[in-house]
Amino acid sequence: MNVARLLRDRALEAPERPAIIERAGAISFAEFDAASAAAAAMLAARGVLPGARVLLLSPMSIDLYVAIVAIFRVGATVVFVDPAAGNAHLTSCLARVRPDAFIGVGRAHLLRFMSPALRAVPLKMTLHRLVAASRNAGNRTHYQDEPLECSAVTPAIITFTSGSTGEPKAAVRTHGFLLAQHRALADTLRLWPGGVDLTTLPTVALANLASGVTTIVPDANLRAPGDIDPEPVLNQIRRLQPDSTVASPALLDRLADCAQSLPHLSRIFTGGAPVFPSLLDRLARAAPAASIVAVYGSTEAEPIAAIDRNAITHADRLAMRAGAGILAGVPSSSVALRILPDRWGHPLAFDDAAAFERCALATGCPGEIVVSGDHVLRGYLGGIGDEDTKVHVAGAVWHRTGDAGYLDTRGRLWLLGRCSARVEGGGGVTYPLAVECAASSVPGLRRSAFVQRSGRRLLAIEAAEPERVRAQLKRELAWAALADVRPIHKIPVDHRHNAKVDYTALARLPDLY
């Protein structure tokens, strides 16, 4: 078992098919296979052995994926750390994994001047030089070597959570996990050989490669999807005519702002952050022939559920405007899902499976969403974070998502927001997405955030015409018992997707006091 074998299969099936297209050029599946094989040989010659951990710092590109698959081929583990999170975060993460090698783009190596932890990594390589040499070698030599045999539990990728509410947790994806995730994503995203997909999500690009789907890397700075210039990406869509796109809500929001028409897209998928009906509707106007799907998942479990815009009824929309939350759809067949009483922040334990099932809440009762399955992360590196997020029941591991929600009578999942962001008091228990989803239907509102300060329920808003929006929200959200609707210049969001409210950063803003 080695996920790199899937790439070899795709190269044998359709060697000339483009594997990845980016602004600088393209690479076929055969060229990709040869380059990754040559790069693997070079890594092995430099001492990157099975079990080694290789820190990889690069934006999405052909070079990045050649290096990822080369690392897989030698049985080593790819380590990703977000340098934008700061030097303290980088130092903490490197102390946890102690990488044996560092491969990065040129500017990533500049971090060595300010990071003793990065300077201490024994082996350092420049990504472009490694891949350029491997592509030249791949053009001259036919490599017959096979990827190293691995087991299902051999680590393949290590990524880190942001650590914004504590020490970063290291998520370890094994080869078995990646294969299960590939199957789940291929089913949800309808991936089939010969498709062409524009994606901003690194995990989806891997699933594309394994499925024989051509990946288009957007011509944009994907570190800030909410601030991209949409025109170069729209030009790519018009010129290359992808069948589908998988992107964060923030990036699609930018495209929807400027797109007159996107007639070639047949499927649009978005997730990684709350997806409100208003965005789905705007995308439908730009791409009227496309199936538009919101996907719910997390780092530890992707996907969990999905909903096609056309499956959202008028009654569903009225319910969302009345505070029912966001409709996420029917849970994926590849996961088991339960709703437990919201005890976020406290470890959970059950004597047996029967006790666990007795604790699970009935239809319509809101609580914490927990999931289990082959593509659900069973634990974190060193067990750090397991106590708060994992529940062991009769040999099965259930992941606590930290999200609140409930199942309706049709078995569909509704999302209410983070358990840690719930608001209690005179208006009862209210979760943020219940209010924010309802607010999103008001024209002119860019973003909102529901919080409680000094016992008062507040809705922070970001809008072009704040006073008009404020007045309408006060009328339409009377059920939320808001003390005030407070316009602020900019609501802070996560730096990865630019679409999730950063409630911790929001709490520090003086505007709410």
What tens digit of pLDDT does each residue of 373-393 get? 999 999 999 999 999 999 999
Do 467 and 440 share a structural domain?
yes
We report the CATH number of the domain holding residue 431 as 3.30.300.30
Do 491 and 380 share a structural domain?
no
Specify if 315 maps to a domain: no
Residue 88 CB neighbour total at 10 angstroms: 9
We report the CATH number of the domain holding residue 59 as 3.40.50.980
Do 431 and 407 share a structural domain?
no
> Kindly report the CA angle at 95 between 90 and 97, in degrees rounded to 5?
95
Q: What is the 3-state secondary structure (H, E, C) of 327-392?
A: EEEEECCCCEEEEECCCCCCCCCCCCHHHHHHHCCCCCCCEEEEEECCCECCCEHHHCCHHHHEEE
Residue 475 CB neighbour total at 10 angstroms: 8
**Closest of 199, 200, 151 to residue 178, by C-alpha:** 151
What is the percent of the chain with per-residue pLDDT over 90, rounded to a whole number? 83
Do 408 and 387 share a structural domain?
yes
Do 106 and 33 share a structural domain?
yes
Residues 290 and 294: their CA atoms lie apart, in Å, by 13
Tracing tokens 């005890």 back to the chain, one arrives at: 343
**Residue 258: pLDDT band with limits 50, 70, 90:** confident
Contact assessment for residue 499 and residue 493, using Cβ atoms and an 8 Å cutoff: yes
Crossing angle (nearest 10°) for helices 62-73 and 127-140: 70
The two structure tokens encoding residue 434: 């219940």
The two structure tokens encoding residue 428: 């009862």
- Domain boundary among the residues 150, 174, 198 is at 174
Q: What is the 3-state secondary structure (H, E, C) of 394-410?
A: CCEEEEEEEEEEEECCC
> Kindly report the CA angle at 105 between 125 and 102, in degrees rounded to 5?
35
Instruction: List, as one string, the DSSP characters of 165-204.
Output: TSSPPEEEEEHHHHHHHHHHHHHHTT--TT-EEEE--HHH
Q: SS3 of 122, please?
A: coil
Q: SS3 of 322, please?
A: coil
**Closest of 34, 27, 26 to residue 8, by C-alpha:** 34
- Domain boundary among the residues 371, 404, 421 is at 421
Give me the pLDDT at residue 99, please: 97
**Closest of 154, 120, 185 to residue 5, by C-alpha:** 154
Specify if 234 maps to a domain: no
Interval 154-202: pLDDT, tens: 999 999 986 555 678 899 999 999 999 999 999 999 999 999 999 999 9
Specify if 207 maps to a domain: no
Tracing tokens 């001047």 back to the chain, one arrives at: 113
Host domain of residue 12: 4-174
**Closest of 438, 435, 430, 369 to residue 405, by C-alpha:** 369
Residues 62 and 64: their CA atoms lie apart, in Å, by 5
Do 427 and 366 share a structural domain?
no
In angstroms, what CA-CA distances link 246 with 255, 446, 464? 13, 22, 28
Interval 51-62: pLDDT, tens: 999 999 999 999
Do 495 and 371 share a structural domain?
no
Specify if 191 maps to a domain: no
Specify if 169 maps to a domain: yes
**Residue 139: pLDDT band with limits 50, 70, 90:** low
The answer, yes or no, to whether residue 44 has pLDDT greater than 70, is yes
Residues 277 and 437: their CA atoms lie apart, in Å, by 8
Specify if 106 maps to a domain: yes
Contact assessment for residue 407 and residue 413, using Cβ atoms and an 8 Å cutoff: yes
| Residue 255 exposed, middle or buried by CB count within 10 Å (0-12, 13-18, 19+) | buried
Do 55 and 81 share a structural domain?
yes
How far apart are the two ends of the chain, measured CA to CA in Å? 56
Give CB contacts under 8 A, 24+ apart, made by 329-332: 329/294, 329/296, 329/305, 329/412, 329/413, 330/305, 330/306, 330/410, 330/411, 330/412, 330/413, 331/304, 331/305, 331/371, 331/411, 331/413, 332/184, 332/187, 332/188, 332/303, 332/304, 332/305, 332/306
Interval 455-491: pLDDT, tens: 899 999 999 899 999 999 999 999 999 999 999 999 9
CA 325 to chain CA centroid, nearest Å: 21
Specify if 154 maps to a domain: yes
Specify if 463 maps to a domain: yes
The answer, yes or no, to whether residue 493 has pLDDT greater than 80, is yes
Do 137 and 23 share a structural domain?
yes
Cα-flanking dihedrals φ and ψ of residue 435, to 5°? -80, -45
Number of H helices, E strands in the chain: 18, 23
We report the CATH number of the domain holding residue 377 as 2.30.38.10
Q: What is the 3-state secondary structure (H, E, C) of 66-108?
A: HHHHHHHHCCCEEECCCHHHCHHHHHHHHHHHCCCEEEECHHH
- Domain boundary among the residues 174, 207, 240 is at 174
Domain count, the chain: 3
| Residue 443 exposed, middle or buried by CB count within 10 Å (0-12, 13-18, 19+) | exposed
One-letter amino acid at 421 equals: A
Q: Is 263 left (phi over 0), alpha (psi -120 to 50) or beta?
A: alpha
Q: SS3 of 499, please?
A: coil
Interval 391-418: pLDDT, tens: 999 999 999 999 999 999 999 999 999 9
Do 378 and 501 share a structural domain?
no
Do 448 and 387 share a structural domain?
no
> Kindly report the CA angle at 233 between 230 and 238, in degrees rounded to 5?
120
Interval 290-322: pLDDT, tens: 999 999 999 899 999 999 999 999 999 999 999
**pTM for the full model?**
0.93
**Closest of 161, 201, 160 to residue 181, by C-alpha:** 201
Interval 65-87: pLDDT, tens: 999 999 999 999 999 998 888 88
Give me the pLDDT at residue 165, please: 56
Do 130 and 15 share a structural domain?
yes
Residues 264 and 43: their CA atoms lie apart, in Å, by 41
